[in-house]
């Protein structure tokens, strides 16, 4: 994935297996670089999140994860999600209390999540410049920002055609 939206992804002509493989390879690299463990459970949770480009909630993940471990508890999913978010492999969509995989985790960036209100697909774009401007403006107002989550809701190119 590049800094721009992958138009093939948006238009539905996307090799999703390559996308999943890329996310898992990057996860391994990030963990190796940070000397962290990508456990079997964490890897499986990430893979479940990567299965499509729709945001997935924690309890939906738990239901999916129970196909591999019928006795899994919510804490299993929440701990994995916390780990994956902390190291930048997963983004939380606050408005939906759901999660998507970061498809640019190999580089430092700040994202805006584009969420289609019709098909529910969610796409990440690099918006580092937007964040820098907002943080600079907040400092001018003598406000100390701690975190920022940006989401943009609308219609993807496929849903605009319907």
- Note the pLDDT of residue 5: 42
- Please report where in the chains the tokens 């209100």 appear, as a residue: 117
Residue 58: its pLDDT value, please? 97
- DSSP letters along 142-155, please? T-------EEEEE-
Task: State both tokens at 161.
Answer: 């055609």
Q: Domain 7-160: which topology?
A: Arc Repressor Mutant, subunit A (1.10.10)
First CA to last CA across the chain, in angstroms?
26
Q: What are the sequence ranges of the domains in the chain?
A: 7-160
Spell out a b/e string for 83-110, using b for 16 or more CB atoms within 10 Å of the CB, else e. Answer: bbeebbbbbbbeebebbbbbbbbbeebb
Positions in the chain whose pLDDT score sits under 70 = 1-16
Q: What pLDDT does 149 receive?
A: 85
Question: Are the beta carbons of 155 and 145 closer than 8 angstroms?
Answer: no
């Amino acid at each position: 994935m590049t800094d721009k939206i992958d138009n093939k992804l948006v238009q539905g002509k996307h090799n999703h297996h390559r996308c999943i493989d890329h996310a898992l390879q990057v996860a391994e690299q990030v963990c190796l670089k940070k000397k962290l463990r990508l456990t079997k459970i964490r890897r499986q949770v990430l893979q479940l999140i990567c299965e499509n480009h729709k945001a997935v909630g924690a309890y939906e993940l738990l239901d999916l994860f129970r196909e591999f471990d019928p006795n899994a508890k919510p804490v299993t999913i929440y701990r994995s999600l916390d780990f994956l978010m902390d190291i930048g492999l997963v983004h939380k969509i606050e408005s939906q209390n759901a999660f998507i995989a970061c498809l640019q985790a190999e580089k430092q960036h700040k994202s805006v999540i584009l969420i289609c209100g019709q098909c529910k697909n969610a796409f990440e774009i690099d918006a580092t410049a937007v964040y820098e401007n907002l943080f600079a403006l907040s400092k001018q107002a003598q406000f100390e920002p701690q975190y920022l989550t940006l989401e943009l809701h609308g219609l993807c190119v496929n849903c605009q055609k319907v």
